[in-house]
Amino acid sequence: MEKQVKGRVWIFDDDINTDLIIPARYLNTFDPDELAKYCMVDADEDFPNKVKPSDIIVAGKNFGCGSSREHAPIAIKAAGIACVVAKSFARIFYRNAINIGLPIVECTEAYDMVKEGDEITIDFENGQVTHHPSGQNFNSTQFPEFMKELMNSDGLMNWIKQRGFV
């Protein structure tokens, strides 16, 4: 995981569930590239055509609620999203994102301040989100050391493989 990511913002509301992130009708594959084609289509049908690598999702509370499918963070990561910033995350989504190496941070002020299309930087080391149009900095959550190791390994399975456990 990089120490910082900078990207254009896509805004989503509260309670974005896993069915909105990757609809059930597309769950017949685990292929990340195929899942990326349908990422967020039920929330914004043109999202897969508009999103660019290094873009950032900023959302309200309870992002990733609903079913425990790992497809949801896989689709987001495969679509090129560099990080998801939300007021809060559903617990299972949070852990699934860490397990596959999708950076996520909680930051209430970012959701309240940024607009779609704005550019922000997330500094993972210092726990800050910088809103470039205004120059304001907001505090965000930081990963504990163990989770930083998982993220730096690009997820749990890579972390396990790097240590020779499989």
Per-residue pLDDT reduced to its tens digit, 40-59: 999 999 999 999 999 999 99
Work out the pLDDT band at 1, boundaries 50, 70, 90. low
- 101 HSE (CA, 13 A, CB side): 16
* Residue 32, H or E segment: helix 32-36
pTM given for the model: 0.92
Ramachandran sector of residue 93 (left: φ over 0; alpha: ψ -120 to 50; beta: rest): alpha
Residue 33, classified by CB atoms within 10 Å of its CB into exposed (0-12), middle (13-18) or buried (19+), is: exposed
Task: Say how far apart CA 50 and CA 1 lie, in whole Å.
Answer: 24
Per-residue pLDDT reduced to its tens digit, 2-45: 789 999 999 999 999 999 999 999 999 999 999 999 999 999 99
Q: What SS3 class is residue 164?
A: coil
